[in-house]
Structure 1
Amino acid sequence: MSPSDAAARLTKPDRVFNREAEWAALVGFVCDPSPGATLGLVSGQRRQGKTMLLEAVAKAADGFYFDGHAAAEAETLYRLAERFGAHTRATHPPSWQRWEDAVNALLALGDQRPVPVVIDNFPDLVGPSPALPSVIHGAYRRLHQVRRNNRARLILSGGTPSLMRRLFSGPSSLHRLAALELLVQPFDFREAARFWGIRSPRLAVQVHSVVGGTPAYRGDLVCDDAPTDPHDFDAWVCRTVLNPRVPLFWEARNLLEEEANHADRALSHSTLVAIAAGCSTPGEIAERIGAQLTDVSHVVAVLQNRGLLNAEPDAFRPSMTRYRIAEPLLAFEHAVAWPHRAAIEQEGAADVWQRARTTFDSAVAAPRFAQVCRDWATAYAGPDTFKGTPETAVRGTVSGRVEHTRLDVDVAVRGNVEGWPGALLSVGLTCWNEMMDIHHLERLRQALSVLRTSGEDIDRVTPACYSGIGFGPELRAAEARGEVLLVDVDRLYHGE
């Protein structure tokens, strides 16, 4: 059977939503007929569907799957041997006393054919057995020397990319052996809307502002409770993410408790509250919460390393790094739920939500809408939208030298051109809950004038307005004259 025939035989199950690219990468890896044992590393934040993907691939290819847990080494080896015995239909499971014996037996499954051997939640196994990466590295070195036709396709999964890198660093680095490094990311805003079955673009932005693109939040944490229409959104928030009887209510806290140690936890919460309130640099955060800049910088680095914060250079001041919360549920938690935890449990969600609804729109939905606009600019905008090929879209600050004015640009798009930082293609403003009109275009023109004075080439720049509500008549007239690009929520979700 040819590699393409073998891969075609492995059909992605219907229960695995989307993930075509990830499935194709995994299938190509496990079906590779080339001689020699290979290694794949799969990483990603929790609840992104890594386990479902890997279980499905292992089952489709008649391979071996083991879900690791944090336990003593002897208990893990016993569980692994039981699972191995069932897979090989052995009369009695093996009795492994060392990881060396277990790893050798697992890799031997590939002596006759390409076969996936999946060890999920691998970081949980390394804690009690810190030598495990070196054991695997040694086993591969021996295989490549004496059993070169072995075709085991070992997949180690679990944790963020930074965590996996730390596990495999040092002289016995498994990264040098990896033929596949796959990152399973959250769904983007369009995929998330389809996953939740939401047709209204404005409702899709609201839901995305709460749960983002993490697939497990729908099934495991709210039991498939999705808002039925835009009028159901407020009630849905109250019966899910603000309901202590629903697992989603506790998920944001669990995320932080798992990722930060006890000493950092309180400062981590305060840091996230400050970022949710609009602070985006360590200095702004430190000033708001009254903490030392060194302490804040440490916590920010920890959160970024765990994938909970994203760091981005300012579009017009590359030396300045701005931070935003990567996980929307954490932003919702620290802007809306965290300040009202006691009230939610005492008064009920509806009363608290009524008071916090304005905060949600300004501190949660509006920043998330701006990020959706940036994502649209780089992922979905048509080839002629910005008169160039977008490469990056980030926030930027324009400072006037004379008047000392500060003009914030929400969507600064730069093109894919030779050299750095790339040609500026567009500057844009976003308004989630406000009708945009000609004065927004005037602000963009003022920003462009300052940028020209500072030496920026603005000849090909397209001013753009992104609105969650709509556009006034003067702005529509400017669009008709070709003076501005207007993007509404329908275009974000359905157009180029």
Structure 2
Amino acid sequence: MRKPPDMFDRDREWAALVRFASDEQPGATLGVVSGRRRQGKSFLLESLCQEAGGFYFSAQEATDAESLASLGAALTRYLDPVVPFVLPNWATAIDALLRIGRDRAIPVVIDEFPYLARAHPALPSIIQGAYAPRRAERVESRTRLLLCGSAMSFMGRLLSGNAPLRGRASLDLPVDTLDYRLARRFWEIEDVRLAALVHAVVGGTPAYRTEMIRYDRPRDLGDFDDWVVRAVLSPGSPMFLEARYLLAEEPDLRDSAMYHSVLAAIAEGNNGRGGIAGYVGRKSNDLSHPLTVLEDAGLIVRESDAFRGNRTNFRIKEPLLTFYHTIMRPFWPQLMRATATDRIWQHATQRFTGNVLGPHFERLCRDWTLHFAEDRFGGWPVEVTAGTVNDPANRTTHELDVVAIGHADGGKPPLLAIGEAKWGDTMGIGHLDRLRRIRDLLSHNDRYDTSQTRLICFSATGFTDDLLHTRDQGEVDLITLSDLYD
């Protein structure tokens, strides 16, 4: 099946869907497609059904009876039978979907599946029963049923633990945001600095450029401030309320005040459980559920400290949420009136640089090291994270922005590289001396092999001449913003 010419990238996802849908082996199969809204899941699945002549049904928030009636009407339009379909219950409905594939392998899509399961909680169990291994309706069918949903916490539980559908699916396909390199191509931005600025605000969600702001983008670096004001901070823009809607779309996020406070704490730089608890005024133990729900919803990620096994850092995964909690939420009443938006943005520029751009640049450096550096530092990293190193002699600790860990072949895992990332500073010998000191401290640890550890300086601004000279001698790797993107 050809990939539609208007589909940007998604080669991996399209190939997986085509393999699943065109499998000619007998017996109906089940697949799950998940991802946050506006990533292009429906576009992918509709395109698949158009190319393969499949059946696509998008559920809505409705009662059980209305949903069955809507599905029956959609089947009637698709199959054009002599008598319209009347589906008395979901068991009959699933069998009707299985009968579509009696003659050939064919994709059958139920989009927004969580809406149906919320109205009829037994629906996953009904599908489990329909897919019993020796059941005639399944054995005689080649329906390739795809369940799709945007409620990440629900979709994550669909195939986990003791869930009814665990072990039934032969495809579990997440559709994530575009990475920062693909996002630059999608936004058609040549200047890498401008691409990083835009990504720090809106991330890699495709619909933010297409449906939400109708292809409005900053023309150049000089237009970036005006673009932020008109495309994100303006109450007339769909992007203005988007960060708040991201939480509202998740049914498990009931106490929105608590979840917004947790996100605000992380956006302010409180990455540890204790710091978050102090910010929101709760005990650390009280945060286990909110943090787990936010993680299941794909809004935050949990990262282990490279050198402190008992310490976990939490980081916001969606850049727009960081931007909202850092820039918009503190000035929400004024932004709603839209009377001083330009001045608010000018006032918040320092916060944007320190609380948004700085941490975002560190994230890009970790992503580059994990996904694009390959074996540049002596081996393929299996984990890239941040780390905290104790310095007993100076009674302090050192924060490392990038720690690349290799695969352990029978011994201690190699510490491939340690690095520091600076968005707005020209890095010099002082930064290298700090990394040297940290490497010396780590040489006495029992956790990693540090014999071949490389030192890396990441800078979006540049490097001093003496540091460039040291790079030429082979002691340090200097990575620019252009290196991250090219």
Query: Which TM-score band (shorter chain)?
Result: over 0.9
Question: Is 2:277 aligned against 1:317?
Answer: no
Deviations 1:420-450 (A, max 9, x none): 8721000000000111111110110111111
Equivalent in the alignment of 1:283: 274
* 1:262–1:312 distance in 2 versus 1, CA, 3 Å: closer
* 1:171–1:260 distance in 2 versus 1, CA, 3 Å: closer
Question: Is 2:482 aligned against 1:482?
Answer: no
Greater mean alpha carbon deviation, residues 322-331 or residues 88-97: 88-97
TM-aligned CA deviation for residue 192 of structure 1: 0.6
> Partner amino acid for 2:463?
F
TM-aligned CA deviation for residue 160 of structure 1: 5.2
Equivalent in the alignment of 1:357: 349
TM-aligned CA deviation for residue 143 of structure 1: 6.3
Equivalent in the alignment of 2:120: 129
- Work out the CA distance in 2 between the residues paired with 1:465 and 1:239: 35
* 1:348–1:45 distance in 2 versus 1, CA, 3 Å: same
* 1:143–1:334 distance in 2 versus 1, CA, 3 Å: same
Equivalent in the alignment of 2:169: 178
The equivalent position to 1:106 in structure 2, one of 85, 88, 97, is 97
The equivalent position to 2:317 in structure 1, one of 318, 326, 330, is 326
SS in structure 1 of the partner of residue 42 of structure 2:
helix
Contact kept? 2:68, 2:88, Cα under 8 Å: yes
Greater mean alpha carbon deviation, residues 115-124 or residues 282-291: 282-291
Question: Is 2:379 aligned against 1:415?
Answer: no
Equivalent in the alignment of 1:6: none
The equivalent position to 2:458 in structure 1, one of 466, 470, 480, is 466
- Work out the CA distance in 2 between the residues paired with 1:309 and 1:354: 28
TM-aligned CA deviation for residue 274 of structure 1: 1.3
Equivalent in the alignment of 1:405: 396
Equivalent in the alignment of 2:51: 60
Deviations 1:175-220 (A, max 9, x none): 3111111111111110010011111111111111111111111112
TM-aligned CA deviation for residue 259 of structure 1: 2.7
> Partner amino acid for 2:232?
V
Equivalent in the alignment of 2:290: 299
Greater mean alpha carbon deviation, residues 145-154 or residues 309-318: 145-154
SS in structure 1 of the partner of residue 399 of structure 2:
strand
TM-aligned CA deviation for residue 145 of structure 1: 4.1
Contact kept? 1:41, 1:156, Cα under 8 Å: yes
- Work out the CA distance in 2 between the residues paired with 1:220 and 1:147: 39
Equivalent in the alignment of 1:5: none
* 1:133–1:370 distance in 2 versus 1, CA, 3 Å: same
- Work out the CA distance in 2 between the residues paired with 1:315 and 1:288: 25
Contact kept? 2:131, 2:138, Cα under 8 Å: no
* 1:447–1:305 distance in 2 versus 1, CA, 3 Å: same
Question: Is 2:13 aligned against 1:22?
Answer: yes
Contact kept? 2:460, 2:481, Cα under 8 Å: yes
> 5+ residue gaps in structure 2?
none
> Partner amino acid for 1:471?
F
**1:51-450 map, 5 Å:** 51-141=42-132, 144-145=135-136, 148-159=139-150, 162-168=153-159, 173-259=164-250, 264-346=255-337, 347-383=339-375, 385-418=376-409, 422-450=413-441
TM-aligned CA deviation for residue 292 of structure 1: 2.3
* 1:72–1:191 distance in 2 versus 1, CA, 3 Å: same
- Work out the CA distance in 2 between the residues paired with 1:178 and 1:305: 20
- Work out the CA distance in 2 between the residues paired with 1:171 and 1:305: 17
SS in structure 2 of the partner of residue 411 of structure 1:
strand
Contact kept? 1:428, 1:466, Cα under 8 Å: yes
Deviations 1:320-370 (A, max 9, x none): 110000111101100111111112233332111000011111111111111
TM-aligned CA deviation for residue 163 of structure 1: 1.9
> Partner amino acid for 2:398?
L
> Partner amino acid for 1:469?
T
- Work out the CA distance in 2 between the residues paired with 1:63 and 1:91: 20
What TM-score, normalized by structure 2, do the two folds share? 0.96
Identity of aligned residues (%): 42
Contact kept? 2:114, 2:151, Cα under 8 Å: no
Greater mean alpha carbon deviation, residues 265-274 or residues 116-125: 265-274
Equivalent in the alignment of 2:41: 50
- Work out the CA distance in 1 between the residues paired with 2:137 and 2:44: 32
SS in structure 2 of the partner of residue 324 of structure 1:
strand
> Partner amino acid for 1:466?
F
Deviations 1:452-496 (A, max 9, x none): 1334432111100000111111110110111100000111101xx
* 1:394–1:53 distance in 2 versus 1, CA, 3 Å: same
Contact kept? 2:159, 2:167, Cα under 8 Å: no
- Work out the CA distance in 1 between the residues paired with 2:121 and 2:251: 21
Deviations 1:50-105 (A, max 9, x none): 11000000110000000011110111111111111111122442111211111111
TM-aligned CA deviation for residue 230 of structure 1: 1.5
- Work out the CA distance in 1 between the residues paired with 2:383 and 2:421: 17
- Work out the CA distance in 2 between the residues paired with 1:204 and 1:400: 37
- Work out the CA distance in 1 between the residues paired with 2:292 and 2:271: 13
Contact kept? 2:98, 2:137, Cα under 8 Å: no
Equivalent in the alignment of 1:3: none
SS in structure 2 of the partner of residue 390 of structure 1:
coil
Deviations 1:388-443 (A, max 9, x none): 11221111011112322111100001112335872100000000011111111011
Greater mean alpha carbon deviation, residues 33-42 or residues 336-345: 336-345
* 1:71–1:379 distance in 2 versus 1, CA, 3 Å: same
* 1:160–1:78 distance in 2 versus 1, CA, 3 Å: closer
Contact kept? 1:118, 1:156, Cα under 8 Å: yes
Question: Is 2:475 aligned against 1:493?
Answer: no
Greater mean alpha carbon deviation, residues 192-201 or residues 281-290: 281-290
Aligned length, in residue pairs: 484
> Partner amino acid for 2:427?
M
Contact kept? 1:137, 1:172, Cα under 8 Å: no
TM-aligned CA deviation for residue 382 of structure 1: 4.2
Contact kept? 1:85, 1:91, Cα under 8 Å: no
SS in structure 1 of the partner of residue 139 of structure 2:
coil
> Partner amino acid for 2:419?
G
> Partner amino acid for 2:475?
E
